[in-house]
Homo-oligomer: A and B are copies of this chain.
Amino acid sequence: MTAKEIEITCPLPAAPEDRITLAHGGGGRLMHRLLRETVLPEFADEALAQAHDGALLALGGERLAFTTDSFVVNPLFFPGGDIGSLSVYGTANDLAMCGAEPLFLSCGFILEEGFEVAALRRVVRSMRQAASSCGARIVTGDTKVVERGKGDGLYVNTSGVGRVVSPALICPSEVHPGDAVILSGDVGAHAAAILSVREGLRFETALLSDCAALWPQVRSLIEADVEIHCLRDLTRGGLATALNEIAQTAQLGVFIHEEKVPVQPEVQGACEMMGMDPLYMACEGRFIAFVPQKDAEKALACLRRAVPDQSPIRIGLVTSDAPGQVRMVGRLGVERLLDMLAGEQLPRIC
């Protein structure tokens, strides 16, 4: 199944362009267009123009990274995580993608009237544990309540401030032709875990979200003096979307081998059952790194030491031809374009 076929069969509502659709929140082409046409021209800031996971900013003599994410994941609790751990890791990971140590997190709750206080307590505990495991502090917060039927239990916003420790700039604009594309582990487990709960799928082994902190792996790369050009975590839209974003921002081509992309058998099985493509399945604990060829082996060795149970692998390289495009040699040896989807295969995945 090609990306084009997925688009054609994707049940996108034929909504007029003047209304928000679920696909606008999917991280794909519709969301990028909404931002490009509606938000970015007004805000017009150089930090936003970087199209990075967070803003790289100078404050006095310090270099800091600043990022925000709202979480609307459904269900709130899923195998391997919950909205609490997801919201902490999600924001801490965006800081890590900037080469920044996650230091301070904020926490904004939007609660729906009638939500159980015990569930809130579980989420708060999960946030605390996740923050501890990242070495980050939750230092400020806000709580709002909306009427029954105006929310969905709980939405969480986490914003984060980190200190950039990478000596070189890590940013899509730093990607160079010839860079190796390294994937930190198998893809799609977060989306598949959510899917298994929503659809009531059962597997022989437990299918858990990959939701985890990425800073330890990024720190190990920085400490080993790996020359990192760019990092991107694979959230909404998965690996294919992340690669497309980088290719478009850097105006370079990306070429990958499908057979090299690790996918757990349970994830592959869920995808086949539901007609989904693992390359577009969201992860919450995986990333891609763009490093010069000379540092690729060193980077892989670092990542293997940092997370022995994952399988970091070089999946491709950056090219100067076909700027803005991602091409892939499929399992059968046929080369094709790996496009961005219009929306997300699974709404409210994070």
Residues of A within 8 A of B (CB): 17-26, 31, 34-35, 38-39, 42-45, 47-48, 54-55, 57, 59-62, 64, 66-72, 103-104, 106-118, 120-121, 124-125, 127-128, 137-147, 149-152, 155, 157, 159, 161, 163, 347-348
Q: Is the CB of A20 within 8 A of B115?
A: yes
A30 vs chain B, min Cβ distance (A):
10
Show 6 residue pairs from A and B whose CB-CB distance is below 8 angstroms, ordered by the A residue.
A31-B143, A59-B64, A70-B109, A108-B157, A108-B159, A151-B151
Question: Hey, which chain B residues are within 8 Å of A114, CB to CB?
Answer: 19-20
Q: How far is the CB of A49 from chain B (nearest CB, A)?
A: 10
Chain B residues with Cβ below 8 Å from A140 are 47-48, 54-55, 66-68
A116 touches B35 (CB 8 A): no
Asked if B144 contacts A25 (CB within 8 A), the reply is: yes
Query: Contacts of A17 on B, CB cut-off 8 Å?
Result: 117
B155–A47 touching, CB < 8 Å? no
Closest Cβ of chain B: how far from A288's Cβ, in Å?
A: 20
- Least Cβ distance of A325 to chain B in Å? 25
Are A124 and B38 neighbours in the complex by a CB distance under 8 Å?
yes
B19 A69 Cβ-Cβ under 8 A: no
10 smallest beta-carbon distances between A and B, as pairs: A25-B145, A159-B159, A68-B106, A55-B139, A47-B139, A157-B157, A70-B108, A55-B140, A150-B152, A60-B62
Interface centre among A64, A69, A146, A348 (most CB of B within 10 A): A146
Contacts of A137 in B (CB 8 A): 45, 47
With A66-B104, A163-B60 already in contact, the answer to whether A124 and B43 are too (CB < 8 A) is yes
Q: How far is the CA of A144 from the CA of B34 in the complex (A)?
A: 12
The number of times this chain is found in the oligomer is 2
Cα A276 to Cα B163 with chains together (Å): 47
Q: Are B68 and A157 in contact (CB under 8 A)?
A: yes
Of B20, B23, B104, which is within 8 A of A112 by CB?
A: B20
Task: Say whether A348 contacts B146, CB under 8 Å.
Answer: yes
Supply 8 further A-B pairs (C-beta < 8 A) apart from A24-B145, A31-B143, A70-B142.
A20-B114, A20-B117, A43-B141, A57-B103, A60-B62, A62-B62, A66-B161, A157-B157
Residues of B within 8 A of A110 (CB): 70, 72, 110, 155
Residues in chain B near residue A151, CB distance under 8 A: 150-152
Q: Are A67 and B106 in contact, CB atoms less than 8 angstroms apart?
A: yes
| Distance of A253 Cα from B157 Cα, bound (Å) | 35
Chain B residues near A67 (CB-CB < 8 A): 106, 140
Q: Which of B20, B43, B62 contacts A111 (CB 8 A)?
A: B20
Q: Complex formed: what's the CA distance from A25 to B124 in Å?
A: 17
A236 to chain B, nearest CB (A): 9
B-side contacts of A124, CB under 8 Å: 38-39, 42-43
Q: Is B18 a contact partner of A118 (Cβ separation < 8 A)?
A: yes
| A19 CB → nearest B CB, Å | 5
**Pair B107/A45 contact, Cβ less than 8 Å:** no
Q: In the complex, what's the smallest C-beta–C-beta distance from A252 to chain B, in angstroms?
A: 24
A138 surroundings in chain B (CB, below 8 A) = 43, 45, 48
Residue of B nearest to A108 (CB): B70
What's the minimum C-beta distance from A62 to chain B, rounded to whole angstroms? 4
